[in-house]
């Protein structure tokens, strides 16, 4: 079997995809895996040992320069892409997987003569390939600044049915006294600041005198780093050398970089500083040994492709040296890492049931899901949050009822020759109430809001889109409420047995140490 994987993103994204590639290899141990990536990231070969059999390169930079060069033949770029497509089609791939999900990769996937295409591709003038709910969720949530309940790797693993692990380290790490700082990122909006990193270095060295602090950097970063660090503080290296340093480090402190993804796969503990366009809910280090410090600035996370609109770098200023050092201390001292909130775990459980439901071989068995959830979460803590959880469920249900109530009928819209905003003013007000409340943090009503914002040619289309969106919301809420009901039932049963209620007499019988004996005084026919 020959599998082609498309990964036409940046270096950090490719490194982040390593668990997916390893999972694909695990699932298809005898397959021949080919990876298509941009030529400028060819050095990633050295850190994907034993996972990919063959690398194929897309000359993106060369093609872009040619298209912008007035003296170049305008057809040259087209001819280069045509040659690549012909080469790919001649290799007889059995399956193609698109890990990129942008327009370029979709168009390229559309030209491939491969029967089994998985992920986004273009055909018949439209985008196709969103074959399950996980893929649609990924496509919806990762196209902008919408929040995601699931990590990038986790989502694609579910979407393509690829097993993934949080980190590859299976043996205990050697004790080390080396702390590494990765100070610079590919986007200055995500840079915490060299002066703050310099202060952090001094704080660690003063407070933890037996630890050595070194600064990782690429050769082109040396000049910038020397403004705040001495030459002896620097470890200027390429990717394979950085990997070796990470393997021997006790901790990495970093921004949103490709290095953090490499550290995650090695099993190096991480303190990640998420500022600027960095969105840890989607692309934080995929590791159980990572702590993320996220700015609380209202403008973050911002759009990756836009410059910072603020007069100062407010998101970086919001994260103090003391805050980062506190996380460093906790990691190095072995303090228990902060767990994700129980509310967030509940949301992930509900959405997992919803997203799994579209797969033919999966049914949302709420009792089983609830039992599994309670096995990994304390019942007492759950009881403390269920009141607020149920209150929010009721709020969602009220919003849904109101939206259905103010939605004009299809017949009303079908007879209209023109459309006025006033025709759906109550629906718009309903959506505004939801957005202003800021209570729909994980996007139950996102599809409803987007339906109102979509373009349409005829008034009746607004009914079709909004009605379909509200039905999706209703399905989600039904799953949420069913899951909650089973959680409450199972947790109450557990509480009864814990309090000894299971030892009370039942239907005229009293439990003794030897057996169940009839109690003549209480027995009834």
Full pLDDT tens readout for the chain, 525 residues: 999 999 998 898 999 999 999 999 999 999 999 999 999 999 888 888 788 999 999 998 888 877 777 777 878 888 999 999 999 999 999 999 999 988 999 999 999 999 999 999 999 889 999 989 999 999 888 876 677 899 999 999 999 999 998 764 444 566 789 999 999 998 899 999 999 999 999 999 999 989 999 999 999 999 999 999 999 999 999 999 999 999 999 999 999 999 999 999 899 999 999 999 998 888 899 998 899 999 988 888 888 778 888 889 999 999 999 999 999 998 988 754 444 478 889 999 999 999 988 666 666 678 888 889 988 887 878 888 888 999 999 999 999 999 999 999 989 888 877 777 888 899 999 999 999 998 998 999 999 999 998 887 788 888 999 999 999 999 999 999 999 999 988 887 655 544 444 444 434 333 434 444 445 454 443
Element (H, E) at 82: helix 76-89
pLDDT at residue 174 in the model? 61
Say if CB 162 and CB 360 are below 8 A apart. no
Is 135 in contact with 99 (CB distance < 8 Å)?
no
pLDDT of residue 173: 60
- C-alpha distances (whole Å) from 417 to each of 413, 458, 459, 460, 524 are 9, 8, 8, 10, 74
Q: Rounded to whole angstroms, how far apart are CA atoms 171 and 61? A: 40
The set of long-range contacts for 387-394, using a CB threshold of 8 Å and a minimum separation of 24, is 388/343, 389/343, 389/346, 389/484, 390/484, 392/439, 393/477, 393/480, 393/481, 393/484
Per the CB < 8 A criterion, the answer to whether 213 and 201 are in contact is: yes
**Could you tell me where in the chain the CATH 3.40.50.2000 domains are found?**
2-159, 178-333
383, 387, 389, 392: CA torsion to nearest 10: 180
CATH number for the region 2-159 comes to 3.40.50.2000
Per-residue confidence (pLDDT) for residue 8, from 0 to 100: 94
Write out the two tokens for 54: 């063959």
Topology, domain 178-333: Rossmann fold (3.40.50)
- The position carrying tokens 């009303």 is 412
Number of helices and strands in the chain (H, E): 21, 15
Tokens standing for residue 433: 């109430």
């Amino acid at each position: 079997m020959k599998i082609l994987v498309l990964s036409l993103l940046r270096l950090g994204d490719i490194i982040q995809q390593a668990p997916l590639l390893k999972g694909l290899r695990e699932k298809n141990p005898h397959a021949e895996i080919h990876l298509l990536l941009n030529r400028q990231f060819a050095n990633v070969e050295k850190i994907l040992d034993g996972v990919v059999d063959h690398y194929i390169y897309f000359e993106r930079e060369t093609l872009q320069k040619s298209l912008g060069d007035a003296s170049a033949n305008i057809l040259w770029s087209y001819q280069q892409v045509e040659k690549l497509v012909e080469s790919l089609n001649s290799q007889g791939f059995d399956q193609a997987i698109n890990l990129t999900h942008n327009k370029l990769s979709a168009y390229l996937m559309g030209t491939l003569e491969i029967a089994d295409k998985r992920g986004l591709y273009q055909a018949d003038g439209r985008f196709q390939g969103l074959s399950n709910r996980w893929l649609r969720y990924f496509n919806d949530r990762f196209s902008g600044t919408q929040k995601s309940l699931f990590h990038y790797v986790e989502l694609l693993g579910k979407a393509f049915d690829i097993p993934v692990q949080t980190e590859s380290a299976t043996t205990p790490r050697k004790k080390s006294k080396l702390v590494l700082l990765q100070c610079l990122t590919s986007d200055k909006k995500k840079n915490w600041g060299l002066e703050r990193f310099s202060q952090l270095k001094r704080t660690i060295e003063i407070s933890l005198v037996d630890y050595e602090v070194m600064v990782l950097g690429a050769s082109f970063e040396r000049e910038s780093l020397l403004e705040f660090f001495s030459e002896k503080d620097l470890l200027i290296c390429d990717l394979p050398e950085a990997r070796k340093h990470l393997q021997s480090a006790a901790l990495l402190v970093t921004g949103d970089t490709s290095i953090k993804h490499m550290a995650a796969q090695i099993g190096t503990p991480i303190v990640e500083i998420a500022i600027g366009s960095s969105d840890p809910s989607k692309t934080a280090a995929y590791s159980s040994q990572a702590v993320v410090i996220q700015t609380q600035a209202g403008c973050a996370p911002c759009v990756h492709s836009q410059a910072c609109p603020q007069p100062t770098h407010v998101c970086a200023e919001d994260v103090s040296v003391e805050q980062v050092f506190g996380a460093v201390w906790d990691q190095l001292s072995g303090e228990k890492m902060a767990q994700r909130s129980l509310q967030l775990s509940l949301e992930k459980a509900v959405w997992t049931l919803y997203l799994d439901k579209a797969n033919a071989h999966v049914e949302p068995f709420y009792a089983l899901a609830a039992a599994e959830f309670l096995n990994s979460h304390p019942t007492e803590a759950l009881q403390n949050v269920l009141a607020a959880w149920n209150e929010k469920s009721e709020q969602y249900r009220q919003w849904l009822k109101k939206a259905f109530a103010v939605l004009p009928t299809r017949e009303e819209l079908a007879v209209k020759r023109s459309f006025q905003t006033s025709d759906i003013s109550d629906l718009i007000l309903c959506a505004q109430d939801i957005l202003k409340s800021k209570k729909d943090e994980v996007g139950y009503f996102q599809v409803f809001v987007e339906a109102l914002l979509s373009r349409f040619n005829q008034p009746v289309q607004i009914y079709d889109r909004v009605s379909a969106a509200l039905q999706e919301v209703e399905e989600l809420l039904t799953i949420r409420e069913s899951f909650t009901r089973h959680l409450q039932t199972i947790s109450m049963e557990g509480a009864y047995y814990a309090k000894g209620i299971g030892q009370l007499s039942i239907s005229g019988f009293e439990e003794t140490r030897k057996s169940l004996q009839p109690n003549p005084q209480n027995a009834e026919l």
